[in-house]
Chain A
Amino acid sequence: MAKTSVWSDNRFWQRSAAWITGFAAVLLIWLTFDTAGQISMGTDADLQNKVTKRVPGPTVINYKITYEMSTKRGHEVPVIGEKEKFFGRDDWSEEEAGALLHLGKLGSQTKNCMNCHTLLGNGAYYAPDLTKAWLDPAWQNDGTMQAMTGKSTKEEAMAEFLQHPSTYPTHARMMPDLGITAEEAKGLVAFLKHMSSIDTNGFPRNFGKIQGAVNGK
């Protein structure tokens, strides 16, 4: 019988496949444990003690959020600043803010936001990305959206738009009326504000630079 090479031996390749797959899977699981620790949601105490978390706690809605260039990291990062009123209050407790975020996250799924918009860049591309929507110049004090809804704060303008989207068209491609109630709208805005505080490693880059959204201007 002729001597055969290991390279043409199916058993060798079968074992290689098993070892490589096992190794990759173990590495992924190990990295998942590390990542899970880093992406778990922070607490109110973290926010008060200025502990930076990749995903801050729900009470982040009590603070002003900006998106600023970090020279150390070479890209923009969300910065949590001084207290800022959210629907007239800056003392939302951990429970209240958590309940609002829960309602908003649930709403973002039940209203099917992701099948038009992208969130953290994932979803459909029919409507604008919502990752940093809270920081969008259009909703600021002199922004077009705030003017159109006739409201005097960002959160009220957003909530009004969400409840009656087809009343305030911004483009021929309009957002449909999804039956969003006043309470749901409040939750959705809290969800959007919370999402804008997530550290996305600089995505989207130069967010609104031309319109002055970067560096809190």
Chain B
Amino acid sequence: MASNHLTGIGSESKQLATWYFTFAAIIFGAQLLFGLVAAIQYVMPGFLFELLDFSVARMLHINALVVWMVFAMFGSVYWLLPDETGIETIGIKIGKLLYWVFVAAIVVVILVYLFIQVGPADETSIWFIHEGREYIEAPRWADFGIVVVALGFVANLWLTGFKGKNSGIVTVLMADMIAFAGLYLAGMFFTDNITVDQYWWWWVIHLWVEATWEVFVGAIAAYGLITMIGAHRKVVEMWLWIEVAMLFGSGILGIGHHYFWIGTPEYWWEIGALFSALEPLPLVAMFIHVLYDWGKTQGAQDATGQEVSVINNKPAFTWFVLNAFGNFLGAGIWGFFHTLPQVNLYTHGTQFTSAHGHLAFFGAYATILIGMMYIAVQGTNGIKIMKNTRASLWAVSLIVGGVMGMTIALTIAGYVQVLVSRAQMGATWAGYFDGQSGMWFAQAMDWRLFMGAITFLGFLFLVKDLLSTGKNPVHER
């Protein structure tokens, strides 16, 4: 049965979406917890030493990040499909089965990371423990499982897209999600040549994060603007196509900025510099797009003489607007300022990258996915106009404040590291620790931990709000 976005009740696709969102929120919590462990270890190196070392905490931190975002992405697609196509998602039974397969696999992988941690230097470790390759550590058995689950998801999306009404948003998602699933294959082999290893590793990481994930965000933002403020579909979809052209046009060859120093030829300097300098442009466009459509629809509403907000979901819309800001700031500005090879020669692999990573993943992806969770809360509870609660406001303030604080602290740490360890000492072992022991660096790491704790507190408010706000009588039903 097709359903209106405001009444998710009765749609199996939307029910499956809420399952995905729930597990995503749990793993989001795990990401923050292991991030806190890793942040404590920077300040107190003896913390959990040889029990839960930094390497394990950090692996869990970044893997949980990827997994919760992928879960929330799948959830978002299952949520919007009935609205966009006008029909129930095809193959929903298999979709539900694959969900449980996926959840079970993730739980097993996490338990192995936690309790086995490292194995001998042979293929069995690669198959059953982890592959030791940043972000895509999942052991090989899980890789195959992930491919199967992803193909099932893509099949559901394609079959539904073909049978139902085919909107621009669905078309973009169909193309984007097949690229997203296909690129994972580039990270599923072993080679002795670390340069070749890193070359293909970036096909997964960069082409995901700076191409397919960004296009996904564009499609979700388009859906959100139509459902939350009633933006005109033709205008929204025109922006979406322009964004896709700009995102893929800059992002695909922007991969060159990862090929400066890994043993690849020099021509990547020019290609990487040019295209990654273009990468912020679509983010500016996305930023303008959201504010423009908001102003346009609100202006049209104001012209009727009534003082009514066009926003029917305040917390979700807040997170969507934060996405417009955060994507531009975190991915655009923080990314751009160390993307040129002349700068990157010194900043590559320092806390600068970490500062950019924290703000970009949060600003570009976490914000909009949290927004989608609020849309699902509105839909499942049949709320006409959803308002902010005290907990919504605490959640958004603490999380945004915490992540910004972490980013600024890590940026300062990055400066110290670049000046002392890299520019002055030439990146040796001793030079590295000179940089790490500097007072500014140490204080920055204290602040990072403090701001991380603030973020976690905000997460607790977020969970409370997501679980309780649906039944809160402040909303108009």
Contact = CB atoms under 8 A, between A and B. Distances in A.
A27 B56 CA distance: 38
Interface in B331-357: 345-346, 348-351, 353-354
B102 interface: no
A133 interface: yes
Interface residues of B, number: 90
A180 B120 CA distance: 8
Interface string B92-119: 0000000000000000000000000111
A177 to B, nearest CB: 6
A204 B429 CA distance: 12
B54 A122 contact: no
A211 B428 contact: yes
Interface string A142-182: 00110000000000000000000010001111101111110
Given A40-B196, A201-B269, A209 B261 contact: no
A112 B121 CA distance: 10
A101 B171 CA distance: 46
A40 B350 CA distance: 28
B122 interface: yes
Contacts of B425: 208, 210-211
Nearest to B132: A109
A121 B349 contact: yes
Contacts of B193: 39-41, 55
A106 interface: yes
Contacts of B119: 110
A64 interface: no
Interface size class of A (residues with CB under 8 A): 35 or more
Contacts of A24: 248-249, 252-253
B426 A39 contact: no
Contacts of A93: none
B237 interface: yes
Contact of B118 (A17, A111, A137, A172): A111
B420 to A, nearest CB: 11
A21 B264 contact: no
B195 interface: yes
8 contacts: A28-B255, A35-B259, A113-B55, A116-B58, A122-B201, A124-B55, A201-B269, A208-B428
Interface of A: 8, 10, 13-14, 16-17, 20-21, 24-25, 27-28, 31-32, 34-36, 38-41, 54-55, 58, 98, 101-116, 118-129, 131-133, 136-138, 144-145, 166, 170-174, 176-181, 184, 187, 191, 195, 198-211, 213-214
Given A128-B427, A213-B428, 9 more contacts: A13-B242, A40-B196, A98-B192, A112-B118, A114-B134, A126-B58, A128-B429, A131-B427, A173-B41
